[in-house]
Amino acid sequence: MTTDDRTKLISQLLALDSPATGNTSAVTDRAVWLWERLANQLTPLIGQMGFESLYARAVHFSQSECRGLPAFEFGQEIDFLQKLRQDLLGLEYDIAERCNTALLTRFIELVAAMIGEALVGHILQCAWDEYSAQRGTREFQNDK
């Protein structure tokens, strides 16, 4: 799966609930859910500290696309999901959606460089396939 394929997949997953389009709270809820599912799959492999470290790097690498998103300091007392929710809710819908797509794309690129494309593809399938199936989309399964 290429970076463009991942970006398209993430955008599709964020846009699945079409009545929520334009609603920052709804896109934030979907974004946090996607991150939570990804964390559930990756944390056993790389640990919570490894996950948050890669998340902090993804935030850093996404700053040019997400100027309104504050940096995430690795080792903060606040949970990264709480911080992400708080940060995204402070943005307009389009910016929140674009920032989350950029963050997830950068994060997945970092993980893929570390553990390989095949394993990342399997992890994404495990993490997000349920969400796409619940919402009636099969694009993710067809992209495999």
pLDDT tens, 61-120?
Answer: 988 888 777 777 766 667 888 888 998 998 888 888 888 889 999 999 999 999 888 888
Model confidence at 121: pLDDT above 90: no
How many Å apart are CA 4 and CA 6, to the nearest integer?
5
Residue 47 falls in which region: left (phi positive, over 0), alpha (psi -120 to 50) or beta: left
- 143 located within any domain: no
Amino acid at 96: A
Identify the domain containing residue 68 by its residue range: 3-138
Whether 93 is covered by a domain: the verdict is yes
**pLDDT tens-digit readout, 5-21:** 777 877 777 776 545 56
Q: How many domains does the chain have?
A: 1
User: What's the rounded Cα separation, in Å, for the pair 40 and 59?
Assistant: 19
Tell me, yes or no, whether 103 lies in a domain.
Answer: yes
- How many whole angstroms separate alpha carbon 33 and alpha carbon 38? 9
Domain contains 52: yes
Give the pTM. 0.80
